[in-house]
Amino acid sequence: MKCALDILVDNLGFESCTELYEKFMPPIFAGELIYHYTSSSGLQSILKENPDKLILRASRFDCLNDKMEGTFARKIFINNCNEMYHKGEIDKDLHSILVNTSPTKTTLFYNVGGRRKPIRINREQFLTSLSQDGDSLAMWKYYSKGTQYDGRNIGLLTSEITNSLKEQFWEKEASFSIFPVVYREEEQKELITGFINLIKEAKKYNQDDKLVRALVSEQLAQWALVFKSQHFSHEEEVRIVIDVGRTTKNGVLQGSPIPIKYRDSNGYIIPFIELNLSKNSLESVTLAPIGCEKEMKDIQKTILEDMLCRYGYSAKGYNSGIDMRY
């Protein structure tokens, strides 16, 4: 038997809530390769921490270094709601619902432990940041030390990432998506306006504010993960987004379906999870720009490829194409 929310979604022309939410998100990343920038020591951890897997870390969303993470999308959303209200495109009642609804902290998990019935529980969200640009000077600068660049860049096959994570999260209270970040304000506004217009239709079908708030709350949580300021557009970021179920009993945190680990960074404790990727995921490793002669660059590239081979990878090694003197 369908619940009231499912009936409302049907009336709006969607087969599921998931299909509705995805309509107002950027398309799932479909590129063949994405790139992860890291330090030289970080590369060693990624390649060697598990002899059978390539390990990426996904940090908890509310512990990322950008202070605007999680709040930027709602700020843009409220500004858009105010603009539509002042233009007479939404009424006072709907405006109040929209601007006073917060992102949800729960989500639905499907096919858990062989059960067909979906379950809704609290979640923690984790992110791994990658880039569409495989040789970006702006990204290399994040790993500069004085006049030297200490960065490494790993090229990963999107299809292998997807297959590996499906295997890791199979029948667990965990799910993932791979989205490109939306930087352009015009694109953000277009997605928001389209969604609000749909919510206006939802109010016609059903006057239950709780159902409308449920749709808005989940969409806000989705946008929080992929909307960023245009000032970061040089990163051309793609995000692996992971939802992990968080259950409590009598106020006591229960075991997680995916092990949660912790690291220290500049005085902060950062929760993270490990993403276990097939070694076939690694397509390439690129060395940061270095200010030396071509002969030495070629030697370093050869050493890099020897290292990858000894670690059990068939990936190719490259030098950055950016020619730096210092």
pLDDT tens by residue, 4-59:
888 888 989 999 888 999 999 999 999 999 999 999 999 999 999 999 999 999 99
How would you label 263-290 residue by residue, b for 16+ Cβ within 10 Å and e otherwise?
Answer: eeeeeeebbbbbbbbebebbbbbbbbbb
CA 178, 106, 83, 12 torsion: positive or negative?
positive
How confident is the model at residue 129, as a pLDDT?
A: 96
Relative orientation angle of helices 185-205 and 92-99, to the nearest 10 degrees: 120
β-bridge mates for residue 106, sequence order:
122
How confident is the model at residue 214, as a pLDDT?
A: 92
CA 94, 196, 105, 170 torsion: positive or negative?
positive
How confident is the model at residue 207, as a pLDDT?
A: 67
How confident is the model at residue 146, as a pLDDT?
A: 61
Low-confidence spans in the chain with pLDDT less than 70 = 1, 111, 113-117, 146-147, 206-207, 324-326
How confident is the model at residue 115, as a pLDDT?
A: 64
Nearest to 235 by CA among 77, 76, 52, 37: 37
How confident is the model at residue 205, as a pLDDT?
A: 72
How confident is the model at residue 143, as a pLDDT?
A: 86
Q: Report CA-CA distances (Å) from 289 to 237, 284, 297.
A: 20, 16, 9
How confident is the model at residue 161, as a pLDDT?
A: 98
